[in-house]
Structure 1
Amino acid sequence: MKLLAITTGLISIAFALTNAADVTYAVIAFPGSSDSVAVNVAGQDFPLQKSPMCGNLFTGVAPYGAEYRYAIIGSNGQKVENTTRHLAESATTTGNEFFGRSKTVYDIPSLPRAFNPIYPALENAMSRDNEISTIIVNADMNALDTILKAPTEDHEFAQVYNMSYISHDAIYNFEGAGIKNSGQSSKDMAKQSLKIKFNKFNKLSKDRLFGRRSFKLRAEANEPTMAREKLMMDSLAAAGAATLSSNWVRLFVNNQPFGLFLMSDDSFTAFTDNFLNGGSAMNSTGLTIKGNAMDPTNEANMVYKGPNAASYNSNDVYILEDKGRDPTVSKKSYMGPVIDFMDRLNKTVIGSDAQTPGTITDLIDSAEHTMIHLVMSFLSGSWDGIWYQASNYYLTQNRDTKKWYIITYDFDETFGNGVEDDKLMTTPYQNYSRPDSQRPLVDTFIKSPYYDPKFQDILKTIIKRFFNVRVIKPRLEAWTEMLKEDVAWDRSLPFRSPGDKEKFTVKDLDNMFTTVDSRIGILEWISNRTTSVCQQLNFNDTDDLPALPTYEKQVPNPTA
């Protein structure tokens, strides 16, 4: 007898294998109360049992089969998967699969690094890009329905009694979390984005998932490919910047299908630690504000308007996202350090080098890191982002150095999505601003004889390494194959909230590559953007750069 121990997150389960040829099969399924689940190998059904980890995960041992399918068996017959699965000859387990999906793990071409990471990010499976995980929630459905039926109103969290996060190789279980809808303009959509916060109803628990105490499930309700935001986050990481992480998940609540979402970071006290310090706590982490734009006259453009906080419409534009570990921060006082930042920024000596007093390096922790975020905002056409619309960025202070970090986020409206003028694809970066807008942070770099050449070098390097059709096209093709079954499933589900009902279908995945219903395609955008930049700066996108130095992972020095 052979004993195989499979560690699945918080609990380990031991399976007894009868011989070396046996395989542990596992599938997520939603059978009826009187139905059973089996795996069919060589024409024979082998029953699977409910896992003690999750009532919707069915596992069991059966003979090895190069080809196999799962079946749900009921009094009226069998429901067998349409496609045949294939198992490697040396496999002893299938991993956790999902009933009705033809494949679990895909071969997704990686993005080459343009630069090594500037900060040591927390490394884990939060940013996986080659599979779709499953979240199964048992919650107070009455409370959740109340939220979904009036999404624009303020609501408390609905209680999550228990929750399972299941990936191909792991299971994590939680109790006492909370769930409610999330976002700003996304609350006007019929498919709501959601937020899950651990320990909301169990204050003694210290549950985390991938080092996160909360996360968002982004509905991507106005994005037909559901890939733009993921591509942007992965691109920022490949460019060496601190960025939010994400992975796709299918969500079920009380056995009801809610759809496909992009699971991504949400802010909490250790939010910045994950990006900048490998997940280790930094006592130096100060407040984080969220920049937002309401309209061209109310935008987080970092323009100094005097010492009075009332001049900044802070409740809607410069929003306190987190107090960090600074006990002096309050909702009444947080604008003080932010106003000081803007005052100093607007006094920055644009023509100076990094050693000149009063330069940007006295204010920003890393000029290179900030320029990478700006370059990617420009390359992706993030018209609702930090550069064009002065929105959707986090600004975090280091309490010890008094310097600031900038991290951009919210990328569903990138790569041509929502762009009304296709000339934006070919606009030079020197002109990439809204008419009559002020961008002191951007100007500090692109109008500086010292920093502008460095800005151009970052721009060229990112294009040569990965931001081009040669590299991105195979990745989009692989993602299209991976997403199509779950996108088709998602688009077949009924809407649960009032609001805008985008009638996307699986055919809209063509928007990965080309214009669909006036939306510029992702690859179409990248092709036009890179071609125009190459012409404007007189270079080509061939990766003829020297190899990057070996990256030695920085070990954080925790201070708390």
Structure 2
Amino acid sequence: MVLKLLYLMCLLTYCTNVVLGDDLITYNVLSVQMLTPDKAMGVLVDGNFFPLQQSNSVPMMYTGSAPKSQNSYQYTVAKAIDKSIIHTEEFQRPSEYLTEEKTFNDVYGQHWHKIDDMHKLPQLYAFDKDETAHVGGMKDPAASNLYEDGTVATIHINAPPEQIEEMHEKKMDKKVNLRATMTYINYNSIQEFHNVTFKVSGHSSRQWSKVPYKVKISSKAYPEGLYRRWQLKLRPESTDPTMIREKLYNDVLRSTGVVAARGGYARLYINNKPIGLFLIVDDPASTSFIRETIYGGDKQARIGAVIKADAAEGSTTANLNYLGEDPSSYESETYEIKRESPEGTPSAVEDLINFTKFIREYDPDDVPNDHRAVEVWNEHIDITSYIRQLAVEWLTGNWDAHQYAGNNYILHHHSTYNRYLILPVDFDYTFGNGVEADQMRFLTGKPLEMSEGQPVNSYLWDKVRSTPYLLKMYQNTIKDINEHLTTPDLLNARIDSIINLIESSIQWDHSLKSQTTGIITSQSMADFRSAFEEGTKNKVDQLIGLKEWIRVKHSSVTNLVVE
């Protein structure tokens, strides 16, 4: 009775406010948990209740008009039948959040729309490494507003239910895809894209119950894309209970001046059903990404060949071994040509053969022990970027990558500079995650011991490390990064910022049911918290804690340098 009386008083106040001519603004709130039909969303403005209506196009979004708050406002869930209040946010939103026309796209129960005080890593190296570099300055060529720091976006996929069900049932079939409408929501924007391609993606990651997805937006229908991005991966981070390793690795790459796929967090819904928290990242094998990052978005640029180097499908690793002049010797599963060379230039596989032949015939003894070694290699590959990538691989224990596994990288042949640029991809198996038998060697061993006992999975790295001047560059790069970037103080502060950003979304993710059968991701918040200090020690991966790895690795490298 008291609640009903309160509702009637609020309704009377609302009518009085409108009659008095108070300025109205639009309130927008996203409900992470979908409301059942017997519930309704509203907003309390300076203590007065106003109903919000569910959006027709974005079912989890509620919007409505109410007076601009003079002090504070709160969102509340009420009974649909009589608007009596069931639950209210536990905090007040200050009126300074409001503009003259509307609120941001608030998230129910989340007190911030954007965290402005996220700790950022310092920029150790510039992206322009020398006078011939094709990416320049301290600005990240791969930056996009899609990955604005301190935000968690929302993505809604709408497609025929039977097609979604079939896609999940046949998740191991890489040919299955469907057409969908995608709605992207962040704190200050809502964008809708029709007829996007949506599919399950990945290799071994398809075996998990929480699977990765890939989205492709038509560049013809949407020339601006989603913040200048048209092909994206939604990575579930199923192997990492922190969901932070890949993001942190990406941050380290950016700080070392390495162009790579960037990423940010997003909650995913499919047909109004919550699916989980994902890391949304670029697809660096796509021509659109190469054009935007390497060529500055120049539509007239002659984009060179793009090859996806992958050890997962072929009979050999993508080790860049010279296999002769026959193109058929270079397996398409290992070296997948994603884009051919421009007309009138050698084909993608011809360039690859020439590059591997150079590696085979290269003799370190013939190269002077000075900067001329860099010049020799720069005719074939951006060697500075490559050395930085290899240093980061070792400092973070990235075993599912170039030097240890001959895997997870993109070879782009720049048609203007006539040399290769390597773009690294997929960074979840880092900072102590996976291959437990070798983790102690990764953690406390010497730099050249990382691939000890392995077959040669990078003939390129084998020749580079055998060149004294380049080996010294590599060692100095490790020393620089260890002293000025991957310190416990810097990385842990960044980690704590990300925890603050995603912890409530992780808890929400753990409450959801998986859409497919497969390996089960840990659903424990205790595992989430312990995975930072000492690992989960669960049956799937005997993880080393993220902060544990950083602390021990930094100390180990410091002692190696001193010795």
TM-score by length of 2: 0.84
The C-alpha deviation readout for 1:286-323, integer Å capped at 9, x for no partner, is: 111111224997211112122233434x1322122333
Q: After superposition, where does 1:250-329 map in structure 2 within 5 Å? A: 250-266=267-283, 267-281=285-299, 283-294=301-312, 298-312=316-330, 314-323=331-340, 326-327=342-343
Contact 1:22 1:64 in 2 (8 A): no
Contact 1:285 1:326 in 2 (8 A): yes
Number of aligned positions between the proteins: 515
Give the CA deviation at 1:489.
Answer: 1.3
Q: What's 1:556 paired with? A: none
Which of 465, 470, 482 is the equivalent residue of 1:451? 470
8 Å Cα contact 2:142-2:261 kept in structure 1: no
Larger Rg: 2
Q: How many angstroms does 1:471 deviate by?
A: 0.5
Letter aligned with residue 471 of structure 1: L
Q: Is the 8 A contact 2:151 2:265 kept in 1?
A: yes
1:416 aligns with 2:432: yes
Once the two structures are superposed, residues 483-517 of structure 1 have per-residue CA deviations (whole angstroms, 9 ceiling, x without a partner) of: 12111111221111122122332222221333221
Partner secondary structure for residue 551 of structure 2: helix
Whether the aligned pair in 2 keeps the contact of 1:50 and 1:58 (CA below 8 Å) is yes
SS of aligned partner of 1:70: strand
Rounded Cα–Cα distance in structure 2 between residues aligned with 1:70 and 1:255: 21
In the TM superposition, 1:162-311 aligns within 5 A as 162-199=181-218, 204-206=221-223, 208-266=225-283, 267-281=285-299, 283-294=301-312, 298-311=316-329
How far apart, CA to CA, are the structure 2 residues paired with 1:334 and 1:277?
Answer: 19
CA contact (8 A) 2:229 2:289 kept: yes
Change (3 A) 1:204 1:461: same
One-letter amino acid of the structure 2 residue matched with residue 108 of structure 1: M
Tell me the equivalent position of 1:108: 118
More helix as a share of residues: 2
**1:98 lines up with 2:107 in the alignment:** yes
Q: Can you list the C-alpha shifts for 1:41-61, whole angstroms capped at 9, x where unaligned?
A: 343212234568745433334
Matched, 1:38 2:38: no
Equivalent position amino acid for 2:109 in 1: G
The answer to whether 1:123 aligns with 2:143 is yes
Per-residue Cα deviation, 1:13-69 (whole angstroms, up to 9, x for no partner): xxx9x9999765321134345643211134321223456874543333433265432
Q: Which residue of 1 aligns with 2:355?
A: 341
Q: Distance in 2 between matches of 1:372 and 1:224?
A: 27
Identity %: 26
Q: TM-score, normalised by structure 1?
A: 0.85
Distance in 2, Cα, partners of 1:506 & 1:67: 32
Q: Per-residue deviation at 1:249? A: 0.3
Distance 1:19 1:289 in 2: 63
SS at match of 1:46: strand
Structure 1 unaligned blocks of 5 or more: 1-15, 540-560
Instruction: String of CA shifts for 1:190-218, please: whole Å, max 9, x gaps.
Output: 11101111139xx6554611211111111
Structure 2 residue runs of 5 or longer lacking an equivalent are 1-17, 129-134
- Distance (Å, rounded) in 1 between the aligned partners of 2:430 and 2:409: 14
Q: Secondary structure at the match of 2:281?
A: strand
CA RMSD across the alignment:
2.8
Contact 1:287 1:396 in 2 (8 A): yes
* Counterpart Cα distance in 2 of 1:397 and 1:279: 17
Could you say what secondary structure the match of 2:402 adopts?
coil
The range that moved more, 400-409 or 44-53, is 44-53
Cα 1:85–1:391, aligned 2, differ >3 Å: closer, same or farther?
farther
Task: Determine the C-alpha separation between the residues in 2 that align with 1:485 and 1:436.
Answer: 41
Post-superposition Cα deviations, 1:104-126, rounded to whole Å, max 9, x if no partner, equal 32232011111122324143212
Shift of 1:334: 3.9
How far has the Cα of 1:381 moved from its partner?
A: 0.6
Counterpart of 2:453 in 1: which secondary structure? coil
1:97 Cα deviation (Å)? 1.4
Cα distance in structure 2, aligned partners of 1:147 and 1:329: 40
Task: Assess if the C-alpha contact under 8 Å between 1:299 and 1:389 holds in 2.
Answer: yes
1:84 matched to 2:91? The reply is yes
- Equivalent positions of 1:410-559 (< 5 A) are 410-420=426-436, 421-423=438-440, 424-438=442-456, 439-510=458-529, 511-517=531-537, 518-538=542-562
| Structure 2 SS opposite 1:487 | helix
Q: What residue identity is the alignment partner of 2:355?
A: F
